[in-house]
């Protein structure tokens, strides 16, 4: 068993840290100096003296309700609470005296008199602050006669009206009101940390109780999003993880990184032996600062799901059932088939797809397999289908493909644009941090066809919502720039100092043209001109302006152009190069950034360097002892085209389900079906595996060492919490496949792969596992100039030198609505499910989202005779599917919306293979469709389900 | 790749560079194709242009001279 404890300060100092001028005071005779505004409680903790406390914790603002933390202060009357009393220079504090001891004991006695004394069988035994404090204050007996209580189900005269049953509606945690001390920590956590405001304290005095939402709500039906912040904050067993109730107190913990979204939250995996008991957000994690969402915190059950395939399997053709074989047999079978294909069809007839869910080290090896063993550049990644335009657009304007800030930066933003992203669902922890800033007064501009939650929710309201028609992003961005330039709001000093003069002159002339004015494009974009003008002024004049964007920007024919437009807007307003500003792509999957950095794209070696450059090739050629193909390779959609044409025959796909996630399912299926050797390396028999000949079992993020790079360029450690269930971690499998094809790779640990990355890639030159262990995480570029990484990019100059403005002409997509397909379909994801859902569908998260629904505006629904919950047929030029309708005003008339989490829906059957002009990133966000009532699944869905069932058969072992 | 799809993709690239100031658009289109299109895609495009290039934007046709013909 491995016990990896990294030193970090977990000590709860009672109230949050402050910044301010130093103040010196004396506590129990010890002198201590702390920033102004610090509480006496925290000052004492800094001096090594813990004052007893119950309602205070340093993740929340002080509340001062329990009175356990009283102290005496010379010259002050009475016994003030140390958590709510700020320090004053020269203050003399006594944390112990007969008087305070008496008060504290009295307080504890009162609490304990209304608390069941079943500590030994309580789920929080050993993990309970009430227990600890009873010990600290020396509580020895409880004099209050138990009369009225909340914990006894029956009183002397029958039922006890104060008693309430447990609320077990949430699948992951239980609320047991009998144990509540009404400290309000949960309520405050839900407000201050998560920003959902789901909890309240109902009633007063002895009657007060915690309540989820109004009236009859339980946790499941309330606004609660199951982030776990309240569970984390609760000092008692009142709010407790069900896994801990079932499994007991964990004895060991390993710090690792969530494998779901691009926020990249740090977690402590808490275990007994190799049994995972719970995942707790790590307070020292710089991406999440101790917060989490339902996916990372609770949805890890898939790691043990019975659907996991743990043995390699092969078959001759996809009509045959699978046959379980040894690793050796599977690997040599795969290697032979790939080699035969290359012998017959040429070097460029096979390729790989790397995974944004796997580690940097694994991705590096997969692209190395293509370049150094296959000797071609046919490597691509699912980032193709999400953020490839970010790479191109930011590369052209700023010189590198990455977000410019860290997440902490949002706390300093004054105006935030959120465009084509839905952070509360897709990047929840970032959303919580954003909402905190908005509640403190920052302004928000939402540019999105849908009324996403950020537009209006508890204590949040967007200043402007530009509800544009899908596909008109470029027109909107250009019109915003028009207002800024023509109204003289541009930051001329920044532009003169930091940007290319010529490119700005061209750009300014271009956007000033009246045809780009908000009035001129109003009919096209559907955004009222005065709203657009107001938004532009708010952004340009509002102080620090930060732009966050997501796939609603990139997944369009003009995705790259919109990214450039966003970069233009940031330069135009001088919002680059310091905290609080910047251009920030919100990455979908956990390691999208990393998989791009690691050279997954067919034209780029690691570090975004084109394969045509001989000097870059030479670095790798020397190390690898091979000649690298100077020609760009095939992108995913090109691979599929080439497969249909017969010139591309074999593929190794690590951790991706292209059949479900990529557009135009029929085309993907045709491409896969045309290949002679499809190798799927995954946890489950995913949809793509229906077309596979070799299945190699994958390992979860809990089963291997490595690193993920999140949307802030932060390289976070992933640690092996348990041994790989199938015997090999993914990096070992790729290495074994390479070696079966004749390579002689000999990595014994992922740290050696990182060393190779650092040795070959300038922006990673300073990165090593030792460094990450020491700092907790590091943001690239990390090299001689930035030995501890780079939180903010382009501070003194752009990576490319001067920033370049690029003219962004709006060009309508060729996917147009017409009489047959009058509605526009756009797609997204929701909080509880993740991407193709392979993991989250195998957890209790399904209670929140059992199926994909089609959101449709009441007017469009009525026109078609569709009511809420009806089955509808969704058809486009590419195909059709059926799903159930949800009638809602979140979408505008003319627009429909769905998610793509469930394979039964196969929403991608309807998406087209139109794509971004520069990168071929598919245009998921705009498909012309028609909706009609239906009475069940489509023929395609039925055929598909039958074929899937047939191809998943596994031959019984003899 | 179907000729229609290839024509569509090439024209999309041309449309972007058509909108850019500063001249040299044909070289820029060719540069983009050389950088991002795999040899067999460029070969298909070159062959198609050789057959007349029906449906292609004039700028794509103009870019033909600057395309790197892939070595076999
Ligand atoms: S789980 Fe999160 S959203 Fe739900 S009540 Fe607790 S803090 Fe609020
Ligand atoms: S549920 Fe826990 S955190 Fe909330 S008031 Fe009760 S004891 Fe405090
Ligand atoms: S899914 Fe994203 S926000 Fe949620 S815990 Fe994981 S990294 Fe954090
Ligand atoms: S800890 Fe200070 S009043 Fe509760």
Last residue within a domain, chosen from A278, A304, A330: A304
* Cα B17 from Cα A239, distance rounded (Å): 59
Q: Which atom of ligand 3 is nearest to the CA of A710?
A: 7
If asked whether residues A613 and A749 sit together in one domain, one would say: yes
pLDDT in tens, A68-79: 999 999 999 999
**What domain range is B44 assigned to?**
3-66
As a residue count, chain A comes to 958
Q: Which residues of B touch A806 (CB under 8 A)?
A: 20
Q: How far is B39 from chain A (nearest CA, A)?
A: 7
Distance A235 CA to ligand 4 centre (A): 13
Q: Are residues A181 and A296 in the same domain?
A: yes
User: Which chain B residues touch A393 with a CB distance below 8 Å?
Assistant: none
User: Is residue A715 situated within a structural domain?
Assistant: yes
Best mean pLDDT range from A4-18, A136-150, A313-327: A313-327
Q: Does residue A576 share a domain with residue A444?
A: yes
What ligand 2 atom has the least distance to the C-alpha of A187?
4
Check CB contact of B13 with chain A, cutoff 8 Å.
Answer: yes
Instruction: Give the tens place of pLDDT for each residue, A94-151.
Output: 999 999 999 999 999 988 888 888 889 999 988 899 999 999 988 888 876 656 778 8
A10 belongs to a structural domain: no
Distance CA B11, CA B59 (A): 8
Q: How far is A593 from chain B (nearest CA, A)?
A: 20
CA distance A482 to chain B (A): 17
Residues A920 and A880 both lie in one domain: yes
B3 neighbourhood in chain A, CB within 8 Å? none
Quick one: pLDDT at residue A5? 45
In this structure, the answer to whether residues A712 and A598 fall within a common structural domain is yes
Do A403 and A530 share a domain, yes or no? Answer: yes
How far the first Cα of chain A sits from its last, in Å, is 34
A642/B5 touch (CB, cutoff 8 Å), yes or no: no
Question: B72 in a domain, yes or no?
Answer: no
Which among A612, A647, A807 has CB closest to B21? A807
Residue A227: pLDDT band by 50, 70, 90 thresholds? very high
Name the packing angle between helices A473-486 and A529-541 (round to 10°): 60
Q: Is residue A119 part of a domain?
A: yes
Residue at which a domain ends, from A241, A270, A304: A304
pLDDT exceeds cutoff 60 at A739? yes
Strand ranges in A578-639 using DSSP code E only, listed in sequence order: 582-585, 604-605, 609-610
Pairwise CA distance, residues A919 & A396, whole Å: 13
CA A304 → CA A223, A307, A629, distances in Å? 29, 9, 41
Element (DSSP H or E) covering residue A256 = strand A252-257
CA angle A183, A187, A193 (to 5 degrees): 120
N- to C-terminal Cα separation, chain B: 18
List of residues 6+ apart from A167 with CB closer than 8 A: A174, A175, A176, A177, A212, A218, A219
Instruction: Say if B40 falls within a structural domain.
Output: yes
In terms of domains, do A170 and A78 share one?
A: no
In a domain, A361, yes or no: yes
Question: How many folded domains does chain A comprise?
Answer: 5
CA A234, A235, A238: angle at the middle one, nearest 5? 60
Instruction: Write down the pLDDT at residue A586.
Output: 85
Residue at B47 is within a domain: yes
**Domain assignment present for A92:** yes
Nearest CA in chain A to B8: A914
Say if the Cβ atoms of A920 and B8 lie within 8 Å. no
Tell me, yes or no, whether B57 lies in a domain.
yes
Q: What is A831-862 written as a DSSP string?
A: SSS-TT-TTGGGSGGGGT-SS-EEEE-HHHHH
Mean pLDDT across A926-943? 80
Q: For residue A64, which ligand has an atom nearest its CA?
A: 4
- Best of A256, A290, A425, A428 for a ligand 3 pocket test (most atoms within 8 Å of beta carbon): A428
Q: A900 C-alpha vs ligand 3 centroid, how far in Å?
A: 19
Question: Residue A332: pLDDT above 90?
Answer: yes
Report pLDDT for A476: 93
- Shortest-distance Cα residue to atom 1 of ligand 4: A53
Cβ-Cβ contacts under 8 Å, B34 against chain A: 612
Buried b (16+ CB within 10 A) or exposed e, A186-216: bbbbbbbbbbbbbbbbeeeeeeeebbbbeee
Q: Tell me, what's the pLDDT at A589?
A: 78
Residue A652 pLDDT greater than 80, yes or no = yes
Look up the domain containing A288 and give its range: 154-304
CA distance A662 to chain B (A): 17
* DSSP-H helix ranges across A166-221: 185-188
Residues A537 and A611 in one domain: no
CA geometry: angle A773, A774, A777, nearest 5 deg? 65
Q: Binning pLDDT at 50, 70 and 90, where does residue A1 land?
A: very low
Q: What is the pLDDT of residue A956?
A: 67
Q: Is residue A454 part of a domain?
A: yes
Residues in A closer than 8 angstroms to B1, CB to CB, are 638, 641-642, 645
Residue B38 counted as domain residue: yes
pLDDT greater than 70 at residue A838: no
* Nearest chain B residue (CA) to A507: B21
Question: Is B71 inside a domain boundary?
Answer: no
| Neighbour tally for A377: CB within 10 Å | 26
Instruction: Read off the pLDDT of residues A253-305 as tens digits, 9 standing for 90 and up.
Output: 999 999 888 888 999 999 998 889 999 999 888 889 889 998 889 988 888 88
A123 in any annotated domain: yes
Same domain, A543 and A439: yes
Better-scored residue on pLDDT, A667 or A737 = A737
Name which of A791, A442, A831 is nearest A584 in CA terms: A791
Residues A933 and A943 placed together within one structural domain of the fold: yes
pLDDT at A953 over 60: yes
Do A611 and A564 share a structural domain?
A: no
Residue B72 has pLDDT above 60, yes or no: no
Whether B24 has its CB under 8 Å from any CB of chain A: the answer is no
Angle at A336 between CA A332 and CA A341, to 5 degrees: 155
Share of chain A above pLDDT 90, in %: 47
Query: What's the domain count of chain B?
Result: 1
Residue A11 lies inside a defined structural domain of this protein? no
Q: Is the pLDDT of residue A3 over 50?
A: no
Q: By alpha-carbon position, which residue is closest to atom 2 of ligand 2?
A: A234
Ligand 2 within 6 A of CB of A239: yes
Quote the CA–CA distance of A908 and A929 in Å, as a whole number. Answer: 12
Q: Which of B16, B32, B40 sits opposite A642 (nearest CB)?
A: B40
Pairing of β A415-419 and β A545-549: parallel
| CB-CB contact of A299 with A746 (8 Å) | no
Q: Do A572 and A445 reside in the same domain of the chain?
A: yes
Q: What number is the average pLDDT over the span A172-178?
A: 91
Q: Is the ipTM of this complex over 0.90?
A: yes
Pairing of strands A853-856, A714-718: unpaired
- Domain boundary residue among A250, A273, A304? A304
């Amino acid at each position: 068993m491995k016990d990896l404890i990294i030193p970090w300060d977990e000590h709860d100092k009672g109230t949050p840290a402050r910044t301010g001028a130093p103040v010196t005071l004396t506590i129990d005779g010890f002198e201590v100096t702390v920033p102004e505004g610090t509480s006496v409680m925290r000052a004492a903790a800094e001096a090594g003296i813990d004052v007893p406390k119950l309602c205070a914790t340093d993740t929340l603002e002080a509340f001062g309700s329990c009175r356990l933390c009283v102290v005496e202060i010379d010259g002050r009357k009475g016994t003030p609470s140390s958590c709510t009393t700020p320090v004053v220079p020269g203050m003399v504090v006594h944390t112990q005296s007969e008087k305070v001891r008496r008060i504290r004991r009295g307080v504890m006695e009162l609490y304990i008199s209304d608390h069941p004394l079943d500590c030994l069988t309580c789920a929080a035994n050993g993990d309970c602050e009430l227990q600890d404090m009873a010990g600290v204050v020396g509580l020895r007996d409880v004099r209050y006669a138990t009369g009225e209580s909340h914990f006894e189900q029956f009183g002397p005269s029958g039922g006890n009206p104060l008693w309430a049953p447990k609320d077990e509606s949430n699948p992951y945690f239980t609320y047991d009101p009998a144990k509540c001390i009404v400290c309000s920590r949960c309520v405050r956590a839900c407000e201050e940390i998560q920003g959902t405001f789901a909890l309240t304290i109902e009633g007063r005095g002895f009657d007060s109780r915690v309540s989820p939402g109004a009236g009859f709500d339980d946790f499941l039906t309330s606004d609660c999003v199951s982030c776990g912040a309240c569970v984390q904050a609760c000092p008692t067993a009142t709010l407790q993880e069900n896994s801990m109730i079932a499994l007991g107190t964990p004895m060991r913990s390993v710090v690792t990184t969530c494998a779901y979204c691009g926020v990249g939250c740090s977690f402590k995996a808490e275990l007994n032996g190799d049994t995972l008991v719970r995942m707790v957000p790590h307070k020292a994690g710089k991406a999440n600062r101790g917060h989490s969402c339902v996916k990372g915190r609770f949805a890890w059950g898939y790691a043990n799901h019975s659907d996991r395939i743990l043995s390699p399997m092969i078959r001759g053709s996809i009509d045959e059932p699978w046959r379980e074989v040894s690793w050796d047999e599977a690997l040599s079978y795969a290697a032979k088939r790939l080699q035969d294909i290359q012998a017959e069809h040429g070097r460029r007839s096979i390729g790989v797809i790397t995974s944004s869910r796997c580690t940097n080290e694994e991705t590096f090896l997969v692209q190395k397999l293509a370049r150094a063993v296959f000797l071609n550049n046919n490597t691509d990644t699912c980032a193709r289908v999400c953020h490839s335009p970010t790479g191109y657009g930011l590369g052209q304007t700023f010189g590198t493909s990455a977000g410019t800030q860290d997440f902490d930066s949002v706390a300093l933003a004054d105006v935030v644009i959120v465009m084509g992203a839905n952070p509360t669902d897709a990047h929840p922890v970032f959303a919580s941090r954003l909402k905190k800033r908005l509640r403190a007064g920052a302004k928000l501009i939402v540019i999105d066809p849908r009324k996403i939650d950020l537009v209006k929710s508890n204590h949040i309201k967007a200043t402007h919502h530009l509800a544009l028609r899908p596909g008109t992003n470029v027109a909107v961005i250009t019109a915003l720039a028009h207002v800024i330039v023509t109204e003289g709001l541009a930051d001329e000093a920044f532009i003169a100092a930091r940007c290319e003069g010529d490119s700005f002159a061209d750009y300014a002339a271009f956007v000033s043209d009246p045809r780009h004015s908000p009035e001129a494009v109003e009919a096209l974009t559907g955004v009222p001109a005065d709203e657009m003008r107001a938004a532009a002024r708010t952004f340009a004049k509002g102080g620090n302006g930060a732009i966050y964007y997501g796939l609603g920007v990139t997944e369009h024919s003009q995705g790259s152009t919109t990214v450039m437009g966003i970069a233009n807007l940031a330069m135009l307003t001088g919002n680059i190069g310091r905290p609080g500003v910047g251009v920030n792509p919100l990455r979908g999957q956990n390691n999208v950034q990393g998989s791009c950095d690691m050279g997954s794209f067919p034209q780029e070696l690691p570090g975004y360097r084109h394969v045509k450059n001989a000097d870059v090739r030479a670095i790798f050629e020397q190390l690898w002892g091979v000649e690298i193909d100077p020609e760009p390779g095939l992108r995913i959609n090109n691979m599929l085209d080439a497969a249909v044409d017969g010139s591309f025959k074999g593929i190794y796909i690590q951790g991706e389900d292209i059949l479900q996630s990529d557009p135009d399912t029929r085309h993907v299926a045709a491409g896969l079906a045309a290949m002679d050797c499809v190798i799927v390396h995954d946890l489950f028999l995913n949809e793509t595996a229906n077309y596979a000949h070799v299945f190699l079992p994958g390992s979860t993020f809990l089963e291997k060492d490595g690193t993920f790079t999140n949307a802030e360029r932060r390289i976070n450690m992933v640690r092996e919490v348990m041994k790989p269930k199938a015997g090999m971690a993914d990096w070992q499998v790729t290495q074994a496949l390479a070696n079966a094809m004749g390579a002689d790779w000999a990595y014994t640990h992922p740290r050696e792969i990182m060393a190779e990355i650092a040795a070959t890639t300038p922006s990673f030159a300073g990165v090593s596992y030792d460094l990450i262990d020491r700092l907790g995480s590091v943001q690239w570029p990390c090299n001689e100039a930035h030995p501890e990484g780079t939180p903010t990019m382009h501070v003194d100059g752009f990576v490319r030198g001067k920033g370049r403005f690029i003219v962004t002409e709006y060009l309508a997509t060729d996917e147009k609505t017409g009489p047959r397909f009058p509605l526009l379909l756009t797609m997204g994801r929701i909080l509880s499910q993740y991407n193709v859902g392979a993991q989250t569908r195998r957890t209790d998260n399904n209670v929140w989202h059992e199926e994909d629904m089609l959101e449709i505006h009441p007017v469009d629904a009525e026109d078609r005779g569709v009511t809420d919950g009806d089955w509808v047929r969704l058809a486009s030029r590419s195909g059709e599917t059926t799903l159930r309708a949800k009638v809602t005003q979140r979408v505008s008339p003319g627009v429909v919306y769905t998610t793509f989490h469930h394979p039964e829906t196969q929403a991608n059957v309807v998406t087209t293979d139109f794509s971004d002009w520069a990168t071929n990133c598919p245009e998921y966000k705009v498909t012309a469709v028609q909706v009609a009532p239906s009475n069940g699944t489509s023929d395609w869905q039925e055929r598909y389900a039958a074929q899937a069932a047939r191809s998943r058969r596994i031959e019984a072992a003899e | 790749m179907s000729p229609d799809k290839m024509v569509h993709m090439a024209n999309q690239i041309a449309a972007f560079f058509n909108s850019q100031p500063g001249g040299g658009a044909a070289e820029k289109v060719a540069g983009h194709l050389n950088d991002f299109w795999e040899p067999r895609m460029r070969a298909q495009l070159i062959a198609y242009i050789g057959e007349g290039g029906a449906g292609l934007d004039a700028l794509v046709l103009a870019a033909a001279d600057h395309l790197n013909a892939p070595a076999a």
